Chain A
Amino acid sequence: MVERSSPFAATVQGRADGVTLAPMARGSLWQVAAWGDTYAEVEAALAKACGCEAPAPNLAVATKDGGQLIRTEPLKWWVLGADGADCPLQPDPADGAWLDLGHDQAGVTLSGPNAAELLKRMVSIDVREAAFPNGAFATTDMHHMITRVLRLDADGPCYHVMVMRSYADVLREVASHHLAHFG
């Protein structure tokens, strides 16, 4: 397979006082959906396939393969994984649906003790510790763009901010613009 190209037109990189900006690695993103009457079965099967507990709404849990299983909507989950990973569950159409979204999103990570402060300049959601702990996921908006935020701490707070791929450079420029205010 041909190598994947970056959604960004320029390098996503920056470090300021207490916050680091970096690109999210390009990986796989599968959407698994259930119907109202098959939700419980699909959830259980998906959790089993991912080797983890089923996440509560708007939360993520780590999968056995080092990915993340996220409850994104009442009847939908996202499975983030390594590039090339298959969809862990391909339900029969009578039970649900599955879909490749691996190229749909572009993302950056904001990490460090001031990452939340920077994030507050980009999205309007409550990112205080109690409201948005490690593993939290939210769908929100930023400057007219549908925006997903996933908190996955690693040596401190770390937020993954994702937008539709065509907006990648807006995300990069907005994040870089605010990063500059942090010295």
Chain B
Amino acid sequence: MTITRRGFVKMGGALFVSFAVPARFSALAAAAQSSLDPAQLASWLEIRSDNTIVMRTGRTETGTGMSGYYPQVVAEELRVRPETISLIMGDTDQTPDGGYSAGFLSGMENARKVAAYAYQALLQLAATRIGAPVGDLSVRDGIVSGGGKSVSYGQLVEGQHLDLKIPIKGELAKADPAAWVGITTLDGLTVTGEPPLTQLSQCKVIGTSNPMPGIPDKVTGKTQWSCDVTLPGMLQARMIRPATLGSTLISVGDVDKKQFPTAEIVKKGNLVAVLSPSEVEAIGAARAVAAATKWSDWAGLPGSDNVTKIFRAYKWNAPSESRGKAADVTAAFAKASKTISASYEQPYTRHAPIGPFVAVADVRSDGCVTIWTHSSQSQGLRARIAYLLGTTTEHVVVRWLDHSGQYGRTTFGGDGAESDAAILSQLTGKPVRVQWTLQEDLAWSSVSPAWVSDVKLGLDANGRVIALHSSFYSPHMMDPRPLGALLAGMPCATSKPGNWVATEWPYDKIQDRLEDAYGMPNLGAETPSGGLRGNIMRTPGQRQQNFALEGLINEAAASAKADPIGFRLSHTTDQRLIDLLNATAKAAGWEPRPSPKRNARKTGTSAVTGRGSCIMLRANAWWVGIAEIAVIPATGVVQVTKFTIGAEPGKIINPRQLDRCMKSGVVMGLSEALKEEVTFDAGKVTSTNWDRYKILTMEETPEIKVVQISRDDKGFGGGSEAANAVVSPAVAAAFFDATGVHARRIPLTPAYVTTLLKS
């Protein structure tokens, strides 16, 4: 770290200003302004003369509270109040680091370290100013005190430039068709070195419930969302999508100029759009043109009812990831007194935000491109747009704004309306806003693929698990190619079909295990649209694999006639898990006994109740889910009456936001456990509205009880994402407890449940 003082360089009354910040919606003036120098402190953090702070991160708020957490970690290191920090997020020309938004833990480490470096520099400045040694100084609310004097950060830096170098490694994302998901990195830059950080036990701001800063504007209508961007001369576009996933364009219908005088058709390959300065006119004209547009027939999908059959018949290649020692596992199974095995499965599901994709693009004749987006991977999107248009990333600026949650589908910076908008802007020479419809979003955005998983356990004479072999089969979930580029036949970096072992092993007493993950291409991969493009969705991979793993652990507990929570406790020595299991069981009023319950039944018109549990380890966080349900066997209706969820993610940064994320994660998990299924026929997705793609309603939401354990000795864990993944296994276990029948498929719809209970 070097500090040089350049004297009194008046630059806007702030010390760390070495560049001009363009106005939010102004078009890019010069390509040279499209990036910040990440080695400069000012690119990350700026202290204003009024003692307020601006912090910049390329990561964004995805609806899980990160915009509240970032100010907390910076405030902690700088000894200021979090409300004095304002955030700039996600704009590629105004933030230094890139990275994916869900990767908060690494983004936070960057922010903490930058703040810690800045704190040390400020202490040195203050020592000089006050004339007291650094060791005699103390800081509170941004005021440095020592030797009977005090000075604010703002006063220290006013009119000066502090040239503080931030050590970094890594690079910003570039498009690369040979790379894993079509871009070179998800992580962006990493701040290196080991500046002194506040001990977790000494934290005063971390651990408090700092509010999310954007909420007041959101509830009063002041927020500018990505769907609100308007530019001078902007055209509004509605897309006309193919008749099926595999159709190609035969002919486009005409625009009735009398009825729609300003509407124009723009097409490239199989990408068809109707544009007008008026959104309403674009909607009406698109509807009329779509009805008269002809597409070729295609019927290459198996139909959603036949997916499992297709997976079973498919000739899978070797596992794309395999974890464990096959020889040891074979030997362990040979010693087993008993083996149990089962297959679990789930149909296609999807992210299904309330707000469909929307984007604005301005592709200028001078080669400068600006994209307004809600993608959670701004730098990745920037790289993909540059690749699509055949330009360099330096020519592309991505501006981020709030929008509907994306639940993982924009993590790779691909899926979205941005490529549609960029292509149309390039073709028309005007700024273009593309608003997808809900039907379009539910039919054409990427999906969370269906899967099957075979799990086998070896049990010793006491029924304890001594060996495991799991095999997970699914179309890959790493295809973020944007639809617009695919349909237009323009360059878009591809990904490789493959899957991965997403579980983090939670049972340290089960040593001999082999976990295999198999991938295959998208269904309909050969079509111009890429078919059902598989993508990651909240708690990806682990959500699915944990349903199978914890399902069979519950079956093993039943086989051993053991209490399911006691059975789990007997397979671990990890005190963190033991503490959380005990605390969550206590909060749920869990009485130890085996499942199914004594008077379980699978017939009758009255409700039968049950309870079930599961665990998970993810990103240094432990999770426990306990479901209580009521089943009416005759109708197959499953109602979840109460859900208790426990989390121990190391040090909890923000208890209230974690509480909110845990409860809402349970809602999303219940939605998946009970309702969600993408349906499709031989050509196209058919679950294209909220009556057909059903998600949980408020009335179906049970009482949700939250247990949080925070500890200072295990660092930080991932808390905002994973609650959804401990729901389905607990609900299925509760179903078994109530009925004595194992439910190895979700969703537990009335149709599936009645069939299951009759079999």
A interacts with B? no
- B: residues with CB less than 8 A from A are none
